[in-house]
Chains A and B, each alone.
Chain A
Amino acid sequence: MNTEAPRVATWLAERFLTSPRRESLIGDLVEQYREGRSATWYWGQVLRAIVVSITEELAAHKLLALRAVAVGMIATYLLQIGPIVWVGVPAEDWVIRRVVNCEATGGGFWCQFWVNQFSFELVVYVACALTGWIVARLHRPHRVAAVCVFTVAFLLWRFVETAFFSQHPPPDAMSVSFTTVYVVDVVAEGGRALAILIGGLAGARHEHVLVPVERRAS
């Protein structure tokens, strides 16, 4: 007999389920898992429950969904034209001057990729986390749903933009295939989306971890 339900799935359920009966729902899933259900079944139930609860909340608050996307996009834009340029570009220059200069060493695409990840992109990830936090804080009663809808909108926007630019790759990316550039871009966008979710969860932490379920339901 299974004893402990998949921890990551339970962790996700505790943070992403918006239902006031969240604890009872997780308890029901744990009970069935201990009766012999598989880990796949448990994961499936958790993911479906998260999608259903967020969809239901957004359907009931359509304007909130639009506002969350608008706030997130504005925050992204303001952070991109400000701190990302002020901090990210100098950080990348510093790494190139002090740590490794890919052009001088002939390191190629992957050298440039890692230099970028540990300088400019690092600032972008922090900015994305900050954006998620801002969206969560400005939509307190529906933080999780607001952050999730913005994350999905962000991913759609970035994937369309990535697909467009991968058809016109910059000359310095020609040392690797188009597919590699595209896959790397998609993974980077996934990382940015993850940063938004993490920032959003930090902004939603009090509602979902510290406040008892009964108080939310009343």
Chain B
Amino acid sequence: MAREFLGGFELLVLLALIRLGDEAYGVPIGKAIQESSGRNVALGSVYITLERLETRGLVTSERGEPTAVRGGRAKTFFRITAQGLREVRNAQRTLVRLWGGVPQLERTTA
């Protein structure tokens, strides 16, 4: 099967997971993406993306303990896998190569 490219939102989610480390669950992941992109993020989209990435083996998940502040509902913590990290590096290399030498983009990178 041909290897799938990471989608834009998938890449954002994986980068948020790398930044957050062991504290990566829905709320901080959504906030990290929102703060860096300046756009409102639907938590439903974050979860759907995480589930898709988990199916592809790029993310693992672990259930936490239920807490009262969440109405007795448990958190699900997500972590990037070694394969996920490789995919992010590949995406980074591809993007950097494509960005290089494009005069229209050089002005905005300053």
Contacts from A to B (Cβ < 8 Å): 5, 10, 17, 19-21, 23-32, 34, 45, 48-53, 56, 214
Query: In the bound complex, do residue A30 and residue B73 qualify as a contact, i.e. CB atoms below 8 Å apart?
Result: yes
Q: Apart from A48-B42, A49-B44, what are 7 other A-B pairs with CB-CB below 8 Å? A: A28-B30, A29-B43, A30-B73, A32-B43, A52-B42, A53-B47, A214-B63
Q: Closest approach, in angstroms, between the C-beta of B72 and any C-beta of chain A?
A: 8
Is B101 an interface residue when CB atoms closer than 8 A count as contact?
Answer: no
* Residues of A with C-beta under 8 A to B25: 24, 28
The interface residues of chain A, by DSSP majority, are classed as: helix
Q: Which of these, A30, A45, A48, A51, contacts B70 with CB under 8 Å?
A: A30
Query: In the bound complex, do residue B51 and residue A20 qualify as a contact, i.e. CB atoms below 8 Å apart?
Result: yes
**30 A-B interface contacts by CB (under 8 A):** A5-B71, A19-B48, A19-B51, A21-B50, A21-B76, A24-B63, A24-B76, A25-B43, A25-B44, A26-B73, A27-B67, A27-B71, A27-B73, A27-B75, A28-B26, A29-B43, A30-B71, A31-B70, A32-B43, A45-B42, A49-B42, A50-B44, A52-B44, A52-B45, A52-B48, A53-B44, A53-B47, A53-B48, A56-B52, A214-B63
- Alpha-carbon distance between A147 and B70 when the two chains are bound, in angstroms: 29
Q: Which of these, B42, B44, B45, B74, contacts A27 with CB under 8 Å?
A: B74
Residue of A nearest to B73 (CB): A27
Query: In the bound complex, do residue A25 and residue B69 qualify as a contact, i.e. CB atoms below 8 Å apart?
Result: no
Query: In the bound complex, do residue A28 and residue B69 qualify as a contact, i.e. CB atoms below 8 Å apart?
Result: no
Q: Which of these, A10, A34, A56, contacts B69 with CB under 8 Å?
A: A34
* Residues of B with C-beta under 8 A to A19: 44, 47-48, 51
- Alpha-carbon distance between A29 and B44 when the two chains are bound, in angstroms: 10
Q: Closest approach, in angstroms, between the C-beta of A21 and any C-beta of chain B?
A: 5
- Alpha-carbon distance between A24 and B73 when the two chains are bound, in angstroms: 6
Q: Which of these, B44, B48, B74, contacts A23 with CB under 8 Å?
A: B74
* Residues of B with C-beta under 8 A to A27: 66-67, 70-71, 73-75
Q: Closest approach, in angstroms, between the C-beta of A100 and any C-beta of chain B?
A: 48
* Residues of A with C-beta under 8 A to B52: 56
Residue of B nearest to A52 (CB): B44
Report if A49-B47 is in contact (Cβ < 8 Å); known contacts: A24-B26, A32-B27.
yes
Most buried by A among B26, B52, B67, B75: B26
- Alpha-carbon distance between A70 and B52 when the two chains are bound, in angstroms: 28
* Residues of A with C-beta under 8 A to B45: 48-49, 52
- Alpha-carbon distance between A25 and B74 when the two chains are bound, in angstroms: 9
